[in-house]
Amino acid sequence: MQDPVTAPTGITYDRRAIERWLAAGHATCPVTGQPLALADLTPNHTLRRLIQSWRPPVGGVEHRPDDGVAAADVVAKKLLCASSSSPPVDVIREAADAASRSDVARRSMVDAGVLRRVLRLAVSSAKTKSSLQNVEACLDLVRALAVSGDELRPLLVADHHVHELVDALTDVLVALVEPGAGDPARATAVKLLDSVTEFAGAPFMERLRPELFTAVTAVVRDRVSPGATRSALRVLLHACPVGRNRALAVEAGAAHEAIELDLDAPPASGVRRETELAMAVLAELCACADGRAAVAAHPAGVAVVARRLLRVSSATDACAVRVLAAVGGRAASPEVLREMARVGAVGKLCCVLQADCDVAVKEAARAVLRLHSAVWSGSPCVSAYLLSRYL
C-alpha cells in the first residue's frame, strides 16, 4: 500500500487498487458491499505518513517521500513542453516508468495534465502516420497512469479531438490485430474506446468506421485480457443501437465471437459480468435480421443461450429470452424450431414461466411458446404437460 484512501464505510484501500476495482465496473465497497463511487474516497494522510516512515531504504539510500513527486514533475515538464509534431518516445517511456514505480508520482502526473497531453500526442502520431511505436508508447503511459473511467470521462467530454482520438485508437487496433501482438496496447486502446462510446451521442456513433467493429471483435476473439474483453463487449453494446452499427457488428462476426466466448466458459464459472455482456450484445444484434440469422447459423448458438437462462442473473435471463424470442419468432425456420426443442430452449422457456422472473420476461417467453405450441407439442424433446399447463 502506497497511497491509502478511506471509503465512507470505514475501510481503507490502496488508491490504485480501489480505482482499478471501480474502473472494472463495480460500484460497491469490496468488503461491505455498500455503494461506493470514486468521489467518496478520502486520502488517509496519517496512514500514508506511517507507511512512508516504515518503508525500508532501497539500495542503501534512505527513502524520501518527495523523491517520486520531484522525479515525476521533471518528466511531466519534459513531456508537456515537447513539440506535438514529433512525439518524444524516450520521454514518454521515461514517464511511464516513473508512473509505474511510484503511485505518488502517478497521481502527480495525472494532476499536472499529462494524460490530456499524451492522448493528443497519440492522435498527432496517428494523423501524421508516424511509427506505430509512438502510439504504443503513448498507450503504455496511459496504462501506467491507471486512470479510472470517472477520471477519464470529463477529460474526453471537454476535449474537441475525440473523433481524432477514436480514429487513432481504431488504427492501433487494426495494426495490432494479430494475436499476441501488442496486447497491452490493444487493452488500453479498447478501454479508452469504452470510455468514449459510453457518453458519446448518436451523431458521433453514426460515424464509427467499419474497421473499428472488426478490430474490437478481434479483441474478444483473441481473449487479450478479461478487462479488455469486457471493454470490447461494452463498446459493441454502446454502438449497436445507433444507425447501421448493428449490421456492421454482425458483418465483423460479433455474434459468432460472443457465442464462442460464452461457449468457452463452463456453466458454473465465475465470469458473470462477461456472460451478462455477451448476452446483452446478442440481444442487441438479434434486433436485426442479420443478427438473428448469425445466432441461428452458429452450431451452438441456441444451445449456449438456453444454457445460460436461469443460471446467471435476472439481467442475463431478460437478454436470453429476448434472443430466443427473436430467433424463434414468426420468421423462424422449421430447422430452428426443431433445434430449440432439441437443445432444451423450449423447456427453459417453460421454466421461466414457473420461476420468479420479471413479468415482461415471462410474457415474452409465453408469447414464443404460444406462437409455436402446435409444432413443439408433438416433439419428443418437449413436455406436452408443461405446454398445456402454462398455455
**DSSP assigned state of 56:** P
Residues of the chain falling short of pLDDT 50: 58-63, 65-66, 87, 269
Taking only the tens place, the pLDDT of each residue in 354-369 is 899 899 999 999 999 9
**Nearest-angstrom CA–CA distance, 342 and 62:** 70
The pair phi, psi for residue 361, each rounded to 5°, is -65, -45
**Number of helices and strands (H, E) in the chain?**
24, 3
Query: Whose CA is closest to 141, among 125, 166, 117, 112?
Result: 117
**Nearest-angstrom CA–CA distance, 291 and 281:** 10
**Nearest-angstrom CA–CA distance, 156 and 299:** 41
What pLDDT score was predicted for residue 302?
A: 96
**pTM of the entire structure?**
0.75
- Tell me if 248 sits within 8 A of 210, measured CB to CB: yes
What pLDDT score was predicted for residue 335?
A: 94
**Nearest-angstrom CA–CA distance, 287 and 281:** 10
Task: Provide the grid cell at 6.
Answer: 478511506
Report the alpha-carbon angle 50-20-197, nearest 5: 150
What pLDDT score was predicted for residue 164?
A: 77
| Amino acid occupying residue 109 | M
**Nearest-angstrom CA–CA distance, 28 and 8:** 11
| Secondary structure of residue 35 in the 3-state scheme | strand
Instruction: Write down the architecture of domain 4-54 according to CATH.
Output: 2-Layer Sandwich (3.30)
Taking only the tens place, the pLDDT of each residue in 132-172 is 677 778 888 888 887 766 666 666 666 556 777 788 788 88
To 10 degrees, the CA torsion angle through 282, 288, 290, 292? 50
What pLDDT score was predicted for residue 53?
A: 72
Task: Provide the grid cell at 138.
Answer: 503513448
Residue 70: how many CA atoms within 13 Å on its side-chain side? 5
Domain limits, the chain? 4-54, 254-390
Helix (H) or strand (E) holding 338: helix 334-342
Task: Evaluate the CA torsion angle 255, 256, 260, 263 in order and state its sign.
Answer: positive
Instruction: Write down the architecture of domain 254-390 according to CATH.
Output: Alpha Horseshoe (1.25)
**Nearest-angstrom CA–CA distance, 228 and 184:** 9
| Shared fold status for 4-54 and 254-390 | no
What pLDDT score was predicted for residue 27?
A: 86
In terms of residues, how long is the chain? 391
Task: Provide the grid cell at 237.
Answer: 453494446
Query: Whose CA is closest to 275, among 338, 242, 226?
Result: 226
**Nearest-angstrom CA–CA distance, 329 and 179:** 37
To 10 degrees, the CA torsion angle through 160, 166, 172, 177? 170
**Cα 353 from chain centre:** 32
E strands, the chain, in order: 4-6, 12-14, 42-43
Helix, strand, coil percentages for the chain (3-state, nearest 5): 70, 5, 30
